[in-house]
A = this chain, B = another copy of it.
Amino acid sequence: MADLTELPRRSIWYGWGDPAHVKPLPTGGWPLLKFLGRVEPAARDTPPVALEDVRLPEVHLSDAARAQLVAVVGDEHFSTARLDRVEHTGGKSYPDLYRLRTGDGSRAPDAVVFPGTSQQVCDLLAACVEHEVAVVPFGGGTSVVGGVDPVRGRFSAVISLDLRRLDAVVSVDSLSQTAVVQAGARGPAAEAVFQRHGLTLGHFPQSYQQATIGGYLVTRSAGQASSGYGRFEENVVSVTMATPTGELVLGGRAPANQSAAGPKLLDVVIGSEGLLGVVTEATVQLARRPQIEHRETWALRDTATGFAAFRDLAQQLGHGIMPDVSRLSDHNETTTVMAQAGLPGMAGMGLVRARGWREPALAVFQIEDGDRASLRFRRKKLASVLKRHGAVKLTDSIAEHWMAGRFRGPYQRDHLMDRGVLVETVETATTWDNLEHLYESVQSAIVETMGRGWVQCHVSHLDGGGASLYYTFMASAESDPIAQWQRVKTAAGDAMIGAGGTITHHHAVGTDHRPWIGEEIGDGGIRILRAIKAELDPTGVLNPGKLIPDEGA
């Protein structure tokens, strides 16, 4: 069983997690990248600047505003210290990290507050309204779409409201398999409590070790095992949210999807990205912790064959029988995953190449279950579908290797950035009939705008209707890497929308996807969001610059 309760230290300001965990590429990694012909590491490392060399703007908070914020949380939980401001300057996208590594702290908030109760959150919001200070809710700070950027908007100052002190698992109900959790609890800390009750949230996104319950909720996060446990939003029973116009409590009179008392208003708050209020607490639906985690590795002739096989898995096996995690790598990702898996990966590639498959696609699965008989049944069903598509079984250790490293991806990015490599991920989703078209459109857009570089993709989060596509791309950083990043990001986003996909499957909107939100949800959608925002946050202090386009935009 994977250790899902490991709680590393919070992310270092210029990278991911505990820098002691940053691992160089495995032997052969750099030669492979070069061999693939695409990514040239810099001749020498370009480490981040020292903390004291990050250029920070002056603090703009008025004395009156500062005094009132301090009055709410106490002196020790109000900070304008350099490290606190730098740590809240942004999320963890490539541009976020690049700016800080090169000493650009111009986006830092004026101050950071650390409330200890939901009442304090309410009082902080009231103070921000009174003193016209923008306020950015901050959980794990793992946004890769600018979701926690301290944008001032029309206000003269902006503070970051960090929820880390609201980190309790308030209660667990073993009968209903639910838990009340404060918003600032990080995934592994909450999961440790759930597991002591024989339960699990089953929500394990790549950001899992750093991100928080509140962050999962306001971004509509999807974990790697979403086929088994559902997206985070499907498991929200109730939410408590502080707003500038009072505290809201929604849901809680029935299980997550068991009421018809008007529209499901929980879904107004879920995905609201801190623009409507600050989620302080949620009741979440848990499930029995599985006794068994079984992994399998398969290869398919090519990516298109993999698409067809995955569609059949989702539509023929259905929820509860299909694997909890299913992931199909396109040929490029197959190459890197196999290389990272070492000898078993090389052996696997040899095996499939021997069949004459020139561009094989790797599929890894995890089945979680409570008993052996059930596992056997589900494995048999899985194999029967895959074999109909000519799939070949490889050693399970490749899937094991992938699963063992599944929270390590962001660490590897830090190493690549040290060597002057631009690396980023983008993701989308669509229906099965449109999957291949969307896959090729986004792939082409990235390749064409990135120039020399490497792009790989996988399919995951299957259901009967469709699946998501997740791309990773890398290139040697140019002289202006942020312009380079923006060029590719814009092309990818345009391609997603142009080819009928969603602008984001689980990364949310933030600042970075805001240019496409109008095309995604239409004028009607924008009007609905604005109407709710005007009701709950009439002065607009909450998280300016994200999600909802400015009037007239």
Interface residues of A (CB under 8 A from B): 173, 175-178, 219-222, 230-231, 233-234, 237, 243, 245-250, 253-265, 267-273, 285-288, 311, 315-316, 318-321, 370, 374, 377, 381, 428-434, 461, 463-468, 497, 500-509, 513, 517, 520-525, 527-532, 534-536, 547-548
Contact = CB atoms under 8 A, between A and B. Distances in A.
Nearest to A320: B320
Given A253-B501, A262-B272, A370-B316, A527 B535 contact: yes
Given A262-B272, A263-B268, A370-B316, A253 B520 contact: yes
Contacts of A264: 220, 233, 267, 270-271
Given A247-B524, A264-B267, A531-B535, 18 more contacts: A221-B260, A248-B525, A249-B524, A253-B500, A253-B520, A254-B429, A254-B501, A254-B502, A255-B467, A261-B508, A262-B521, A262-B529, A263-B267, A267-B267, A321-B374, A374-B381, A527-B535, A528-B536
A464 B521 contact: no
Given A178-B431, A503-B261, A464 B287 contact: yes
A260 B531 contact: no
Nearest to A504: B260
Contact of A258 (B253, B268, B286, B429): B429
Given A315-B177, A528-B535, A532-B531, A502 B259 contact: yes
Contact of A377 (B263, B318, B377): B377
A72 B501 CA distance: 36
B261 A431 contact: no
A268 B271 contact: no
A246 B221 CA distance: 32
A254 B505 contact: yes
Contact of A271 (B260, B506, B532): B260
A94 B270 CA distance: 38
B253 A262 contact: no
Most buried by B among A263, A273, A504, A509: A263
Contacts of A270: 263-264
Given A176-B431, A178-B431, A250-B522, A505 B260 contact: yes
A293 to B, nearest CB: 16
Given A248-B524, A255-B463, A527-B535, A432 B263 contact: no
Nearest to A267: B267
Contacts of A527: 245, 535-536
A165 to B, nearest CB: 24
A524 B241 CA distance: 10
Contacts of A548: 262
Given A237-B465, A254-B431, A316-B288, A261 B531 contact: no
A379 to B, nearest CB: 12
Contacts of A461: 258
A498 to B, nearest CB: 11
The 3 closest A-B CB pairs, nearest first, are: A320-B320, A255-B465, A248-B524
Nearest to A257: B231
Contacts of A273: 262
B531 A259 contact: no
Given A287-B464, A466-B254, A528-B536, A261 B509 contact: yes
Contacts of A285: 464-465
A92 to B, nearest CB: 16
Given A429-B254, A464-B285, A261 B524 contact: no
A502 B264 CA distance: 12
Contacts of A321: 320-321, 374
A517 B262 contact: yes
A508 B261 CA distance: 5
A273 B370 CA distance: 41
Given A318-B320, A465-B237, A535-B531, A258 B524 contact: no
A265 B521 contact: yes
A254 B433 contact: no
A521 B430 contact: no
Contacts of A260: 219-222, 271, 502, 504-509
B316 A319 contact: no
A430 B253 contact: yes
A465 B178 contact: yes
A245 B522 CA distance: 14
Nearest to A241: B524
Contacts of A535: 527-528, 530-531
